[in-house]
Amino acid sequence: MKLYTYAGAPNPRRVHIYLAEKGIEIPFEQVDILNRENRKPEFMDRVNAMGGIPVLELDDGSHIAESIAICRYFEAEQPDPPLFGKAAQGQARVEMWTRRIELNLMMPVGMVWVHGSPLTKGVMRNQIPEMAEQNREVVNRYFKFLDRHLEANEFLAGENFSIADIVALCTIDFAAKLNELPHSPEEKNLDRWYQSVSGRPSSSA
């Protein structure tokens, strides 16, 4: 078993944090996405037809792509500590927040990345700066929404740390560090949550 990954990229980072929280150690293989190694036929034909990382290679030679699917594989193999929620309501709540963060936060941050960053200019045929600007506003509005939610909730899905917090942490760091889009320290509840989850030892995995 091994994980195809790239140090510092936000989607693989979800899996690294998840594995650290679980205390699971597996070998990694770095794939240089900046030099488009993941878009070469060798990788796309054999490992992931979609080209993205992370990808988990199992011992039977098969592959699982998509960061959340990879985490779900390990959750089924090793349920404790539960990071996808407990019982029906808890699991549904974690799913709800994970989807919200992916669709309502990661998606607009991704738009800022592909339409606004000099680092993606070379691979995007046509960057549209207005698209980046509009999505910056969407992200800033969502930070305020999260700030209100976290006033009454310790973690996104309630009282327990979960995969939803991992996805949000990776997205917020990606927004701040690579897209010059940090949350405001005046968003006190969001900031309290951010300091708490980024202070966990797993966050540096």
Which region, judged by CB under 6 A, interacts with ligand GSH, from 3-11, 143-151, 157-165, 194-202? 3-11
For 99, residues 6+ apart whose C-beta sits below 8 A from its C-beta are none
Minimal distance in Å, beta carbon 14 to ligand GSH? 7
Q: Which is nearer to ligand GSH, 113 or 143 (CB)?
A: 113
What's the length of the chain? 205
Subset of residues 42 to 71 that bind ligand GSH, contact rule: CB under 6 A:
51-54, 66-67
- 76-81 contacts at long range (C-beta below 8 A, 24 or more positions apart): 78/22, 78/24, 81/21, 81/22
Sign of the alpha-carbon dihedral angle for 181, 187, 188, 193: negative
85 binds ligand GSH (CB under 6 A): no
Minimal distance in Å, beta carbon 159 to ligand GSH? 26
Minimal distance in Å, beta carbon 39 to ligand GSH? 5
Minimal distance in Å, beta carbon 8 to ligand GSH? 9
Other C-beta atoms lying within 10 Å of the C-beta of residue 152: 8
Q: Which is nearer to ligand GSH, 65 or 190 (CB)?
A: 65
For 173, residues 6+ apart whose C-beta sits below 8 A from its C-beta are 10, 13, 198
Minimal distance in Å, beta carbon 174 to ligand GSH? 8
Give the closest residue to 172 by CA, choosing from 99, 102, 97.
Answer: 102
Subset of residues 14 to 43 that bind ligand GSH, contact rule: CB under 6 A:
33, 38-39
Structure tokens at 20: 């650290």
Give the x-and-dash track for 101-140 against ligand GSH (CB under 6 A): ----------------------------------------
Task: Report CA-CA distances (Å) from 57 to 15, 29, 171.
Answer: 13, 10, 24
**Phi, then psi, of 57 in degrees rounded to 5:** -100, 125
Q: Which is nearer to ligand GSH, 33 or 131 (CB)?
A: 33
For binding to ligand GSH (CB under 6 A), which residues are involved?
Answer: 9-11, 33, 38-39, 51-54, 66-67
